[in-house]
Chain A
């Protein structure tokens, strides 16, 4: 509970832009040594944040991608019984040494790392509802026991834990209470301009402004099923650049719309609304 003053304050990196709110949340998490939970629309840089924190602190990044079948136990270690069974029949290794068949999960790896690491638990909401609660114990105590061997894995350095959620499921209260929370707002035009500049340095100013204008017009178009996000804008500009396009506006001639809109139906709606029914080149 004693807060350790962090000498370094997180301020984003050259390629990851932040605002005060996000910085404050990251610094709270670092100082209080609590997990940082980030939510926000797809493409708002949740996953990238962990990378940026690792980079700016000079720590290694370990990533745990959560899937619908992921269990908390998988993060600690898995006991590869199938391999052991196999080896016992056909293999030549020493099957009596059970440690050979214990494989550390990302959490286990983060605990046993000799230095402080950043652990990203990406898309925690994908797993079962109980998953976050199952993690709590280990995250709190920063240790666990490998039941098969009796070994205790104790964190040498408390990892910096970053957890992202796409809000597919609500997270349990007990879990939320332990986390520092930040909701990444969708970037406003100003921040987006800077994000674009980071990804496309030297981009023609007029094209950048026009692309941004079209992008926000599309985002404000309420009939879309999936609104384009930051990553789509960046991809779209990449295509425009590589194809030598110099100006864009929201009409039937809008080039490479397929890079911005991923749903067939959205392409049709945009064509109806802005292209007098004609389908833009995708």
Chain B
């Protein structure tokens, strides 16, 4: 019963592992689920899910897996429990074993379990249609009937959990959907880093003591600059016509970024489809500065975040302009300007609101070879931020996804 439910969760992206399984087994053993499916729903949710973004997936998996059970009134098997019980009796799992289990893929675990349970077939009571998928599983109803999940045990309240799971109340918290401002702010906050900078007006206690000691006990006060945010970001957003449908998400990104107090410096620029020598200060494409000016002013440690759909007519990537954005036969191609940016900034990403399925063709695929590209979703932004804080792209050779 449980293992297939675990696979269902894992298949849907909730990475439950041995640690979660052990916790669940412990809670069931203590009877916290009150032998009911409703109780099981709440206990399992508290122990298997670690973030509200997974609640909807959990509900869906629960629904898919336990639907129909409420009318069955069966004692459900607990093969997982019994297996884990044995694992526990073998003096618990070592951290290494736990880690290993964590990494095993569901199929592998299933195979192991099937083997293990075949060995103890005598305990198998057979015929339980809720065991395994498609009724083929040999998993037995081993010895834990006392604590088995009894459905419909408590008068009148059957199926509450299923109703609750079916309400999809947590769909709005999924993190694979497009972002809202708060989620963006949360994601951007991960970019923050600190450094000691500015005038030394904070007492450095440790140094003061050391200095005082060196000074034969004569008090010597040492000060240092306070810890300040040290992340500098250049954000460039595409305001081309094809970006119109994404205006709302762009403005949310803008507001999240501009309200972020944890950046030492944030410069916001605009461009239309592709960069032609110049990045503009306003969405109306006025003001701003040229790429050579920007790269001269701004160090390579600034983090460059490009946002756009990277979708345009192919020739638009090869339009040649000078740094002011005027057509020039001996100017640089749009793509070259982009590459200059990618080369200057050691850490750069391109966020794309278009679904990832469309990235393999057209101008998107070309630009994705210049900038590491991430979808403009909670997940994508999170990955982009991780990339910006960790990944150092080899100059000129963009990381590929």
> Which residues of A sit under 8 angstroms from B29, Cβ to Cβ?
3
Also in contact, A28 and B32, with CB within 8 A (given A177-B19, A182-B46): yes
> How many Å from the CB of A266 to the closest CB on chain B?
15
Q: Across the interface, do B189 and A168 meet the contact criterion of CB distance under 8 Å?
A: yes
Looking at the assembled complex, report how far the CB atom of B88 sits from the nearest CB atom of chain A, in whole angstroms.
7
Which A residues are in CB contact (< 8 Å) with B39? Answer: 20, 24
Query: Using an 8 Å CB-CB cutoff, how does the interface string of B25-42 with A read, 1 for contact, 0 for none?
Result: 011011111000011001
Report whether B49 and A181 are in contact in the complex, using a CB–CB cutoff of 8 Å: yes
B88 touches A1 (CB 8 A): yes
| Cross-chain contact of A181 among B33, B51, B194 (Cβ < 8 A) | B51
Name the interface residues of B159-199: CB closer than 8 Å to any CB of A. Answer: 169-170, 173, 182, 185-187, 189-190, 192, 194
Report the bound CA distance from A1 to B51 in whole Å.
23
- Select the stretch in A31-39, A257-265, A268-276 that faces chain B: A31-39
Q: Does A214 contact B (CB under 8 A)?
A: no
Chain B contacts of A32 at CB under 8 A? Answer: 23, 26-27, 47
Which residues of chain A are near B192, meaning CB under 8 Å? 129
Interface string of A62-97 (1 = CB under 8 A from B): 000000000000000000011001001100000000
What residues of chain A lie closer than 8 Å to B12, measured between beta carbons?
none
Tell me the chain A residues, 18-43 only, with Cβ under 8 Å from chain B.
20-21, 23-25, 27-29, 31-32, 34, 39
Residue numbers in B under 8 Å from A29 (CB-CB): 46
The yes or no answer to A167 lying at the interface (CB within 8 A) is yes
A121 at the interface (CB under 8 A from B): no
**Contact A176–B47 (Cβ < 8 Å):** no
In Å, the complex CA distance between A9 and B52 comes to 25
Q: Could you say which residues of chain A place their CB within 8 Å of the CB of B19?
A: 177-178
Total B residues in contact with A, Cβ cutoff 8 Å: 45
Given A21-B42, A24-B42, A182-B46, do A31 and B32 touch, yes or no (CB 8 Å)? yes
Q: Are A20 and B32 in contact (CB under 8 A)?
A: no
What residues of chain B lie closer than 8 Å to A23, measured between beta carbons?
A: 42
Identity of the chain A residue whose Cβ is nearest the Cβ of B161 in the assembled complex: A20
**Given A170-B382, A183-B52, A24–B43 Cβ distance below 8 Å?**
yes
Which of A5, A129, A167, A169 interacts with B30 by CB under 8 Å? A5
Partner of A88, one of B23, B50, B92, B217: B217
The reply to whether the CB of B145 lies closer than 8 angstroms to some CB of chain A is no
Nearest neighbor of A3 in chain B, beta-carbon distance: B26
Confirm or deny: B356 has a beta carbon within 8 angstroms of a beta carbon on chain A.
no
Question: Does B151 make an interface contact (CB < 8 A)?
Answer: no
Say whether A181 contacts B219, CB under 8 Å. no
A-side contacts of B50, CB under 8 Å? 173, 176-177, 179, 181
Q: Which residues of B lie under 8 Å from residue A168 when comparing CB positions?
A: 185-186, 189
Within 8 Å of chain A (Cβ to Cβ): is B290? Answer: no
Beta-carbon contact of A167 and B186 below 8 Å: yes
Which single residue of chain A is at the shortest CB-CB distance from B55?
A: A183
Q: Considering the complex, which residues of chain A in the window 162-177 have a beta carbon less than 8 Å from any beta carbon of chain B?
A: 167-170, 173, 176-177
Q: Which of B69-77, B205-213, B325-333 contacts A (4 or more CB under 8 A)?
A: B205-213
**Pairs of residues from A and B, 3 with the lowest C-beta to C-beta distance, nearest first:** A24-B42, A25-B46, A176-B50
**21 pairs across A/B with beta carbons < 8 Å?**
A1-B22, A1-B26, A1-B88, A3-B29, A3-B30, A27-B32, A28-B23, A28-B27, A31-B30, A32-B27, A81-B205, A85-B212, A89-B219, A128-B194, A129-B190, A169-B189, A170-B187, A170-B382, A178-B19, A181-B51, A183-B55
